[in-house]
Structure 1
């Protein structure tokens, strides 16, 4: 079996069923655990980076979202040999047409979030004007004729207020259940512009849309180069049309 779809280690005490799609940079498996079905996901996040999410999860639940809790080991850790484990959520994946109905909950989530320091190892868009790494993003491979344009897009929103956000709040990370919408995959959560969480659910000013597109290009440049170049073509059109 290829490394990219290897199941979680047997030491975790799970019985893998099959890999799940949609993990992009991570391996995701549906497994049977002692208390029922769970999702095991490989991660490059540290224990501290995962623990940083706790108050955000509380805020999302207070705003009316469901959020699966990361399972703890007997020693109290939520990082298990490079994997996280959370309950399997039954429901249907959201579609683009479902997102507008979530705007009020997303705004309530933002309003409920406490003030937090930046997530360890992450930067906001304005910080990427001078920094080169944030989470999985590494700007060093970007060509010298492209990076300045991306940073100009981020500079255009440098005065916007930043706060804790989900960071990837699109339909792929929303499950619609009988009990309400569930937010999954908090991998990109950080302190950043709250408008980024509304890109898929509400119209945004052109400068926000371009800043987000620049972020997607930077994020995909190494891991999904074909997609990154497709996004770059869109970005260039928006630059020429602005």
Structure 2
């Protein structure tokens, strides 16, 4: 596997280049002309066809746009190519890849549980979820993640992944987005617990709305968790209002 194409050159696509470029020839593409950023990062900018015609193709686009991208690239993929997504949810993307991609290509679902902010000091030891779908290259990919990038690789089914992410991501990002929109202040009179809230605001507040919508709306288990959280808040508030003073 000598060539890699990354379709989607936003924040995470650019973040990936830094960690993958030392090991493989990388070509990138995006609907927006970001060729100047590609040049700054010394990576090749290609057309959609050129980028999709590589040995490995990584789809780094929001889930909302994934199906149209799959339809656009399916005829460009070479025989035996490996196609992987990096979406924050797994049930829907994997279903779409199986639906639209030819049987002549391998498919793996992945979810790096980190991003440009949490991985700014390096990715060693961070979690990476792998959902094997249809590939003879799964073990080689897991070896690369584990032994070269030194990630902590977790093999999961798409359903198990999304059920856990409904709490790990959907709940966390729901709280983080709320705190960010409240714009809670950084004050001198703060406890370690309050600093945790400020850290959540800093870590999640800069995430794109596309990512937030993917996490909250594309995970089939997220709505139930949000509802449980809102019910718990209301019940707690009701208890406070009913305390006799």
Structure 1 length normalisation: TM-score? 0.30
* Higher-Rg member (1/2): 2
- Higher relative contact order (Cα pairs below 8 Å, separated by 6+ residues): 1
Greater share of residues in helix = 2
TM-score of the aligned structures, taking structure 2 as reference length: 0.29
